[in-house]
Amino acid sequence: MEFVNGEGIEEIRNIDLTLIRRYLAAMKDKEYSRSTILRKTSSLRSFFKFLTRRGILEQNPFLILHRMKKEKKLPQFLYVYEFEELIAAPDSSPKGLRDKAILEVLYGAGIRVSELVGLNLDDLDLSRGYLRVFGKGAKERIVPLGSKGCLAVQIYLQEAREFFFRKNKAADEKALFLNKQGRRLSARSIRRLIDDYVRKAALQRRVSPHTLRHSYATHLLEGGADLRAVQELLGHVDISTTQIYTHLSRDRVRQVYKKTHPRA
């Protein structure tokens, strides 16, 4: 409405396709991302739909606006050597042992940060190397965790969790990963601790919990994993979501070319 008023329009009935296009152009001039522009236009389309249903407007000008396609960005991921530098950053203190286990689970099982913070002790089957996680829509799935991940979690449980648990009488007895008050760690805390270790490891890039999930999927596919299997491991309902991970490093592409092309 600020934009509309700035254009000298006082009545909402006078908003037309030409004005909407000028609004989109103004957002592009401000260098808004495509996803931001899509979100704003989608909200306005719904709002104008509401106005037409109530009889306030005769037609929805957003319905004749050409729908923009959402841009698909290649996911950022760490190379194996970068993760090795990151996982070497935590020390041997209780906090360091907990954080090392967190990093190993995020990368070793490829789970979302929301799934990680929701883990309970009875979701673990370390003897067989499995975790039970609850994904989007509370959908349950079983994911494997490698030997290094299982070892890191086992060391945390044996040598560090009690340190956090005894700090508070109201500690969460079920939660796997605890904060210094003995309560369940939050997603924000996970992001913050990763930022700290990225700085400590001197990695020249931004790394989030989802970066480790991206790395997990990328390294599985580069190692020859089947796309359907990766879809199942990630908990994706639609395989098109998994297909964004089919990008390969230039070195991998070159290796495949040399190995398979008759004129390489």
Higher pLDDT: 75 or 204? It is: 204
Q: What is the mean pLDDT of the chain?
A: 88
Task: Check whether 246 has a pLDDT greater than 80.
Answer: no
Q: Please say if 112 is a catalytic residue.
A: yes
**Could you tell me the pTM of the whole model?**
0.71
Rg (alpha carbons) of the chain, rounded to whole number? 24
Q: Please say if 136 is a catalytic residue.
A: yes
Report percent pLDDT > 90 for the chain.
52
Q: Which of 213, 214, 216, 219 is catalytic?
A: 213
Q: Quote the pLDDT of residue 261.
A: 78
Torsion of CA 227, 231, 233, 235, to 10 degrees: 180
Cα(200)–Cα(216) distance, integer angstroms = 22
**Mean pLDDT within 162-184:** 83
**Mean pLDDT within 233-243:** 86
Q: Which of 128, 136, 148, 254 is catalytic?
A: 136
Sketch out the chain's domains with CATH numbers: 2-64 (no CATH), 80-250 (1.10.443.10)
Q: Please say if 210 is a catalytic residue.
A: yes
Q: Which of 23, 156, 197, 245 is catalytic?
A: 245
Structure tokens at 221: 């596919």
Q: Quote the pLDDT of residue 247.
A: 63
pLDDT (tens digit, 9 = 90+) per residue, 122-147?
A: 999 999 999 999 988 888 999 999 99
CA-closest candidate to residue 61, choices 24, 28, 7, 36:
24
DSSP secondary-structure letter at 245? G
Q: Under a CB-based contact definition with an 8 Å cutoff, are residues 107 and 89 in contact?
A: no
Q: Which of 23, 98, 107, 112 is catalytic?
A: 112
Q: Quote the pLDDT of residue 70.
A: 63
pLDDT (tens digit, 9 = 90+) per residue, 84-99?
A: 999 999 999 999 999 9
Q: Please say if 79 is a catalytic residue.
A: no
Q: Which of 191, 210, 247, 252 is catalytic?
A: 210
Task: Check whether 249 has a pLDDT greater than 60.
Answer: no
**Mean pLDDT within 104-111:** 96
